[in-house]
């Protein structure tokens, strides 16, 4: 029938267009490498559910006595069990997956208790310990280091010395050394008091494993760039060089004070040091003269305005390429009219009469106010001085304390009264070995967290922009990062160095993928543009086709009904 031919023509024209549509759609697509959506999602949930990546730690608590202990075996067995349980309860809030082993090493008695199945290394009983009497804490620390022997990241020892003569004043006393061990002097006469014993041991373990702070109280991020590096930029600021001009012997300062710190922190962060001397750098905050202490005093609430972004040109240029992190340490020499300059704390107390004050700003760095000695009595004639290593000793100590604060440690190791607990500091580097382990664990967790969030937001971004080109390279980077992060999380017993490398790799690649230049230069191809391109052709063509189909269908229907 003639009518059906025409309908067929109209329909085939429409069918042709409809069949061509998917092909045309395919042509408008851009290249997008398939990204591992499911794996990343799985990783993010896994990472957030276990609250923190688990790094392996071993803690052995050894009760050590040269003499025979008064209590019987059974009683000791109970006591070890109590200590084991107390420590394990506490350790759930720590940074690592902990394994505890408790040992009694007394004359003629050797008892072991283990928590967990994997706790392999056991204390070897019966080794001779030299007399610790008449030694100060630092030398005890050294002797015990030799005595304990094996020293590696993640293995910690608490030695409970059951020795009445060692304790001063007859009470229990704990000391955390600068390596990976602590010792508790516990007079045997107090052994009946199990509560006191468990309390002092778990406090000590808390310091040794987590710095004495719960994991939640610590800042989540480290002041480091994506590749785990940071630049320590030291600036000596001569606020007003009209009267006095100071410069410094920074080469010696670096070799004497900073290189040991940088070397010690090498497993945690790659730090580099640079310096400059700047002039005409007044502070932006005003101080007031306080006649009582004959000083200019600046309120702590004004400190946020102290750093003068207009005049302090602290920025580094060529070395700090890309997304590197710079920690500024500004040593500020006040002008003559404002010397000595001190800080009034928010509590109303004015800092000590020392010539040095300082404050830190998280993630930015620290400021040290260095008042030239005797500046009140000195005449105002021009003074030019080169500060040597000794002049800057205290300043550098403050700087190291500020560095500790920036990394999330207390500026100086705190002391506690009850139970009596003291922490030795490492005079040379400022960081004890166990603190470095702690920082490394924190960094691993921070790295894994940031990898998870970076990857998640990258994939979210990719999903939300369907017209963005995703290059092969990004796919590779995401996969590499994900693999490394998984390895860091499941590393288990691997050495800290390996875990640290994995987590750093994961973070670096995740950032690399996120900041890939091809993502930055998003292909500008908005929807309006597409409409503008295609409507001049498609609207008239489709209009014709659809109208013809409608008309022919109507005609065909009319004809067939007429028949």
Partner 1 sequence: MDLPFALAFVLLLTSCYAIDEDFSEELLLRPLPDGNVLAHFHFASTLPPVDHYGVHHRLFPKAIFQLVRKFRIKEMELSFTQGRWNYQRWGVGDPIAQLAAKPVGVELTASLDVPEAEVDSTWGNLTHALSGLFCASINFLESPTTFLEPWFSKSSRTRYGALPREAVCTENLTPWLKLLPCRDKAGLTTLLDRPTIYSGMYHSQRLIITSGDFDRDEEGTTLEQTLTVVLRKPAVSEGLSSKLQDWTLSGLFGSKLEGKCPLATTSSVYLELEESLAKHLAGDLSKETRINFVDNRVFSLSSAPSRVLASLSGSLLLEYEAGTHSELDLGVTWRAPVDWSPARGRFYTSRYLAGSGNARGSIVISFRANDGPSGDCYSPGIEAVEYVDIMILQMIPWYVRLYGHTLQVSLDGRNVEFWSVVRLMRFTPAEDRKAPAAVEIALRVSIATQAVTLTIQYDKGFLHIDEHPPDANRGFDLPSAVITFPRCRVFKQFQSDDVGHSHILAVVQSQRPMQIYSEVSLMQLATPDFSMPYNVITLTCTVLALYFGSLLNALRRRIGEEERESKGT
Among the listed residues 183, 211, 149, 199, the one whose alpha carbon sits nearest the alpha carbon of residue 62: 183
Q: Is the dihedral of CA 127, 128, 134, 139 positive or negative?
A: negative
Closer by beta carbon to partner 1, 360 or else 545: 545
Closer by beta carbon to partner 1, 48 or else 535: 535
User: Residue 329 Cβ, how far from partner 1 at the closest point, in Å?
Assistant: 14
Closer by beta carbon to partner 1, 72 or else 562: 562
Closer by beta carbon to partner 1, 85 or else 555: 555
User: Residue 79 Cβ, how far from partner 1 at the closest point, in Å?
Assistant: 58
User: Residue 374 Cβ, how far from partner 1 at the closest point, in Å?
Assistant: 21
197 CB contacts (<8 Å, ≥6 apart)? 79, 83, 160, 172, 186, 190, 191
Closer by beta carbon to partner 1, 16 or else 289: 16
149 CB contacts (<8 Å, ≥6 apart)? none
* Angstrom distance (rounded) from CA 377 to CA 141: 45
* Angstrom distance (rounded) from CA 390 to CA 385: 13
* Angstrom distance (rounded) from CA 185 to CA 288: 50
The stretches of 390-471 forming alpha helices (DSSP H) are 393-406, 433-464
User: Residue 275 Cβ, how far from partner 1 at the closest point, in Å?
Assistant: 5
Question: 263 and 429 in contact (C-beta within 8 Å)?
Answer: yes
Closer by beta carbon to partner 1, 132 or else 262: 262
- Strands of the sheet containing 365-370, edge to edge, are 270-279, 229-238, 326-333, 365-370, 356-361
User: Residue 34 Cβ, how far from partner 1 at the closest point, in Å?
Assistant: 31
533 CB contacts (<8 Å, ≥6 apart)? none
Structure tokens at 353: 């009469």
Among the listed residues 146, 135, 117, 214, the one whose alpha carbon sits nearest the alpha carbon of residue 175: 135
Among the listed residues 533, 478, 470, the one whose alpha carbon sits nearest the alpha carbon of residue 507: 478
User: Residue 382 Cβ, how far from partner 1 at the closest point, in Å?
Assistant: 7
Closer by beta carbon to partner 1, 89 or else 242: 242
User: Residue 315 Cβ, how far from partner 1 at the closest point, in Å?
Assistant: 8
* Contact residues: partner 1, CB under 8 A: 6, 9-10, 13, 241-242, 245, 247-248, 250-251, 254, 274-280, 313, 315-319, 321, 382, 532-533, 536-537, 539-541, 544-545, 548, 552
Map residue 488 onto helix, strand or coil. helix
Closer by beta carbon to partner 1, 152 or else 551: 551
Closer by beta carbon to partner 1, 289 or else 534: 534
User: Residue 243 Cβ, how far from partner 1 at the closest point, in Å?
Assistant: 9
- CA dihedral of 259, 265, 266, 269, whole degrees rounded to 10: -120
User: Residue 338 Cβ, how far from partner 1 at the closest point, in Å?
Assistant: 17
| CB half-sphere exposure, 299, CA atoms < 13 A | 5
User: Residue 210 Cβ, how far from partner 1 at the closest point, in Å?
Assistant: 38
Question: 499 and 491 in contact (C-beta within 8 Å)?
Answer: yes
Closer by beta carbon to partner 1, 110 or else 389: 389
């Amino acid at each position: 029938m003639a009518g059906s031919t025409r309908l067929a023509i109209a329909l085939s024209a429409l069918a042709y267009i409809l069949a061509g549509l998917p092909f045309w759609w395919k042509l408008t697509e851009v290249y997008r490498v398939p990204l591992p959506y499911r794996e990343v999602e799985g990783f993010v949930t896994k990472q957030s559910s276990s609250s923190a990546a688990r790094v392996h730690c071993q803690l052995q608590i050894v009760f050590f006595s040269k003499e025979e202990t008064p209590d019987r075996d059974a009683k000791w067995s109970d006591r070890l069990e109590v200590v084991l349980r107390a420590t394990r309860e506490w350790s759930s809030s720590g940074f690592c997956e902990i394994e505890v082993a408790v040992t009694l090493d007394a004359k003629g008695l050797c008892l072991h208790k283990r928590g967990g199945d994997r706790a392999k290394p056991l204390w070897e009983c019966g080794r001779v310990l030299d007399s610790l009497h008449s030694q100060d804490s630092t030398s005890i620390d050294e002797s015990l280091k030799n005595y304990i022997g094996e020293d590696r990241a993640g293995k910690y020892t608490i030695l409970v010395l059951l020795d009445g003569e060692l304790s001063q004043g007859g009470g229990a006393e704990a000391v955390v050394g600068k390596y990976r061990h602590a010792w508790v002097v516990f007079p045997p006469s107090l052994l009946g008091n199990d509560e006191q014993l468990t309390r002092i041991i778990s406090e000590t373990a808390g310091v040794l494993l987590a710095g004495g702070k719960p994991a939640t109280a610590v800042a989540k991020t480290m002041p480091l760039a994506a590749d785990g590096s940071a630049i320590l930029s030291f600036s000596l600021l001569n606020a007003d060089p009209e009267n006095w001009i100071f410069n410094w012997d920074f080469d010696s300062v670096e070799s004497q004070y900073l290189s040991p710190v940088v070397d010690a922190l090498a497993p945690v962060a790659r730090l580099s040091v640079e310096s400059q001397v700047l002039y005409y750098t007044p502070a932006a905050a005003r101080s007031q003269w306080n006649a009582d202490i004959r000083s200019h005093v600046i309120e702590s609430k004004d400190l946020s305005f102290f750093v003068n972004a207009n005049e302090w040109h602290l920025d580094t240029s060529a070395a700090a390429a890309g997304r590197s992190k710079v920690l500024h340490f500004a040593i500020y020499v006040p002008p003559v009219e404002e010397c000595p300059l001190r800080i009034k704390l928010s509590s109303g107390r004015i800092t000590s009469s020392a010539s040095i004050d300082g404050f830190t700003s998280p993630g930015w760095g620290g400021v040290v106010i260095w008042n030239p000695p005797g500046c009140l009595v000195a005449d105002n004639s021009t003074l030019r001085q080169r500060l040597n290593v000794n002049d800057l000793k205290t300043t550098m100590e403050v700087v190291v304390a500020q560095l500790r604060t920036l990394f999330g440690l207390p500026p100086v190791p705190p002391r506690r009264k009850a139970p009596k607990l003291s922490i030795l500091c490492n005079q040379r580097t400022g960081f004890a070995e166990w603190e470095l382990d702690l920082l490394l664990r924190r960094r691993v967790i921070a790295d894994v967290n940031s990898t998870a969030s970076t990857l998640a937001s990258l994939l979210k971004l990719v999903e939300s922009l369907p017209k963005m080109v995703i290059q092969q390279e990004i796919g590779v980077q995401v996969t590499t990062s994900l693999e490394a992060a998984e390895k860091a999380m499941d590393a288990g017993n691997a050495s800290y160095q390996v875990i640290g490398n994995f987590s750093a790799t994961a973070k670096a690649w995740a950032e690399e993928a996120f900041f890939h230049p091809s993502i930055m230069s998003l292909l500008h191809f908005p929807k309006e543009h597409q409409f503008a391109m295609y409507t001049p052709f498609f609207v008239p063509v489709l209009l014709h086709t659809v109208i013809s189909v409608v008309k022919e269908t109507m005609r065909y229907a009319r004809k067939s009904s007429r028949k």
